[in-house]
């Protein structure tokens, strides 16, 4: 991916995250809950 394309993608995602804070929060919550289920003792490896 070119530098210009990467910068445009990052800018778009920053704007999306600003507009969708509730979605970002839910996505992060699901990610970490899944991560804890996968690990043996609830520790991140």
pLDDT at 41: 66
Give the integer Cα–Cα distance in Å for 43 and 13: 29
Q: What is the pLDDT along the chain (45 residues), one digit of tens a residue?
A: 899 999 999 999 999 999 999 999 999 999 999 988 887 665 655
Give the integer Cα–Cα distance in Å for 32 and 44: 10
């Amino acid at each position: 991916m070119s530098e210009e394309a990467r910068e445009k993608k990052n800018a778009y995602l920053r704007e999306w995250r600003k507009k969708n804070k509730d979605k970002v929060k839910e996505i992060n919550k699901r990610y970490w809950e899944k991560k804890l289920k996968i690990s043996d003792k609830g520790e991140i490896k």
